[in-house]
Chain A
Amino acid sequence: MNISWEAATVLIGGVATLAIYSFLIKENPFYRFFEHLFIGIAAGFLPVYTIKSFFWPRVLEPMLGYHIQVYPDGTPTAEYDTKILFYILPMLFGLLYYFIYSTRFSWLSKLVIGFSLGYSGGLAFKGFFAEMVPQLTSSFKPLLVPGESGMDWAMSFQNMFFVFTLLAVMYYFFFTFQRKSVAGDGVAASGRWLMMVCFGAFFGSTVMARMALLVERLQFLLHDWFNEISGII
């Protein structure tokens, strides 16, 4: 029997899927085998991809001068750019991560972890304004929308409702002062109800997402895998 690589890929995919589904009956060695294989494979390609896609072409290759080729007459295609040697500093600094395994010098790894926390903090300022300014400006919706003939009351109501929901939900989260008025309580309560509508939409969407995963796997088993199996039989 001659099985092509494509067929073998589909067949093993089906076996792997069934192994995982066997967990629905009971935890078993078949499931455990494939579970550990999954973790191993998942951990296997990240370091290689990081080196392949970033570290080699961006740092090591130019640092070692491997990107410089030689023309047929022996002259080099480019001159060595010494600027790249500056990257030795972040490389050495990054190596401090590995002191995490030392009991005595583990504090050194905190230098580089702190540095990473610092730069994500620094980046966050720009990120915040770039993301939130359009969000805030689009929240100021016109409460009365002029239509072709007079007011567009449907649109106006929609905008009013939008702005009310936004303010009510924000108001609900103001815990820094005590609400004393009945109106304030009412607004906060309606904020909670409207938030429930939002969470309902979330819940409905979550069901859809989870079911999509199940349907895709069953589609694979019932079509691709079944066709391969029946082809072999």
Chain B
Amino acid sequence: MKATLGRRLIYLFMMLVVSVPLITNYTVRPAEMKAANQFYSLVENLSVGPNDIAFVAFDFGPNTKAENEPQAEVIVEHLMRKRIPLAVFTQYAQAEGFLTSIPERVAERLMKEMPGEKWEYGQDWVNLGFRPGGALFVQAVAKSTNIAKELDKDAFGASLLQIPAIQNVRTLENVKLLTQFTGLVGVFDTYIQFFQNENYVPSFGHGCTSITIPEAYIYLDSGQLSGLLEGIAGAAWYSELLLQNNPQRAPDAALVINTALGVAHLAVIALIILGNLVAFVGSQRRPS
């Protein structure tokens, strides 16, 4: 009974502590992330021809949405700002709803920010929908000699040969960038292993959940990844970079969330210290 009450008190404490910065909208500048800087430069310096495209895979569901969604938003925003056509798709059925909502939300925000300019479906982005098959699908695309024909239709059943953003994409060489957001290591592996052909490997930027940060670093070290967003902290720093380079940009929720996350970390560290102190004092009092 006492233990249950104690546990519930910790739950309550955690929720209250995290709520304070959220209610007060308290923000602190995020910590600089080297890997996110790399990702930013990658997108910023991407040279894209008229038939080229960036592939953006949203391989996440509600379970990792908290981290992957802000990452996906900042990257889609950056690509849209740079007017780089992008194709969004997923290998994970639970992400289907995000394929529509994220690009639309970003396009709407950009149109509000820059009245008179427009970002439209078909011209700036295309939704390829859920693509089952895992490694088989990724490999089939990578080896294709006519990717637009290979992928056939968008999520609404329209022929890709009629969609300006993708209609001229022929081989993997036209895919200048692959970005992928996931908490699923297995799905990430399919791109590392199969999204390449004999002569060409597209630049690969990855947005991972915090749990997989340590693993993602080995791919960054080997050059298999050209950029990395590390959880919310990575998204928040990327958002900060976008803000620095586009001062008219309205700040997004990533900064507040990142600040609250910082508070949560401090609280967890405090709980660990406190727990150890209580245990130490308890062991001293106990007769040997």
- Where the two chains meet, the residues of A that have a C-beta atom closer than 8 Å to any C-beta of B are 24-25, 42, 45-46, 49-50, 52-54, 57-58, 123, 126-128, 130-131, 134-135, 137-138, 198, 201-202, 205-209, 211-219, 222-223
B129 touching A216, Cβ below 8 Å: no
Distance in Å from the Cβ of B155 to the closest Cβ of chain A? 7
Q: Interface 1/0s, chain B 254-288, versus A by CB < 8 A?
A: 00110011001100100000000000000000000
Inter-chain CA distance A202–B213, complex, in Å, is 8
At the interface, yes or no: B131 with Cβ under 8 Å from chain A?
Answer: yes
21 CB contacts below 8 A, A to B, read A24-B11, A52-B129, A54-B132, A54-B133, A123-B139, A126-B193, A134-B223, A135-B218, A138-B223, A201-B213, A206-B210, A207-B265, A208-B233, A209-B211, A211-B18, A213-B64, A215-B257, A215-B260, A215-B261, A218-B19, A219-B22
A residues in contact with B211, CB < 8 Å = 202, 205-206, 209
Known: A131-B193, A218-B260. A123 touches B135 (CB 8 A): yes
Q: Identify the 8 closest CB pairs spanning chains A and B, nearest first.
A: A216-B66, A209-B210, A208-B210, A127-B193, A138-B222, A211-B264, A205-B210, A53-B130
Pick the contact of B19 from A45, A126, A130, A222 — CB < 8 Å?
A222
Q: Interface 1/0s, chain B 11-40, versus A by CB < 8 A?
A: 100110011001100000000000000000
Known: A54-B132, A209-B211, A218-B260. A134 touches B231 (CB 8 A): no
Inter-chain CA distance A53–B132, complex, in Å, is 8
Inter-chain CA distance A70–B189, complex, in Å, is 43
Pick the contact of A218 from B18, B96, B152, B223 — CB < 8 Å?
B18
Among A46, A138, A209: residue with most chain B CB under 10 A: A209
Known: A208-B265, A222-B22. A134 touches B224 (CB 8 A): yes
Question: In the complex, which range does the number of interface residues on chain B fall in?
Answer: 35 or more
B221 touching A131, Cβ below 8 Å: no
Known: A45-B96, A219-B22. A209 touches B231 (CB 8 A): yes
B residues in contact with A130, CB < 8 Å = 192-194, 196
A residues in contact with B129, CB < 8 Å = 49, 52-53
A127 touching B194, Cβ below 8 Å: yes
Inter-chain CA distance A54–B132, complex, in Å, is 7
A residues in contact with B8, CB < 8 Å = 24-25
Pick the contact of A207 from B221, B257, B268 — CB < 8 Å?
B268
* Interface of B: prevailing SS: helix
Q: Interface 1/0s, chain B 203-232, versus A by CB < 8 A?
A: 000000111111000100111100000011
A residues in contact with B170, CB < 8 Å = none
B residues in contact with A53, CB < 8 Å = 129-132, 155
Pick the contact of A58 from B14, B152, B231 — CB < 8 Å?
B152
Residues in B182-196 with C-beta less than 8 Å from chain A: 183, 189-190, 192-194, 196
Residues in B153-169 with C-beta less than 8 Å from chain A: 153, 155, 157
Known: A205-B214, A209-B209. A131 touches B131 (CB 8 A): no
Inter-chain CA distance A49–B97, complex, in Å, is 11
A215 touching B264, Cβ below 8 Å: yes
Chain B residue at smallest Cβ distance from A136 = B222
Among A45, A127, A198, A212: residue with most chain B CB under 10 A: A212
Distance in Å from the Cβ of A8 to the closest Cβ of chain B? 16
A211 touching B130, Cβ below 8 Å: no
At the interface, yes or no: B240 with Cβ under 8 Å from chain A?
Answer: no
B residues in contact with A198, CB < 8 Å = 214
Among B64, B189, B211: residue with most chain A CB under 10 A: B211
A residues in contact with B261, CB < 8 Å = 208, 211-212, 215
Inter-chain CA distance A58–B174, complex, in Å, is 23
Q: Interface 1/0s, chain B 233-260, versus A by CB < 8 A?
A: 1000000000000000000010011001
Distance in Å from the Cβ of A122 to the closest Cβ of chain B? 11
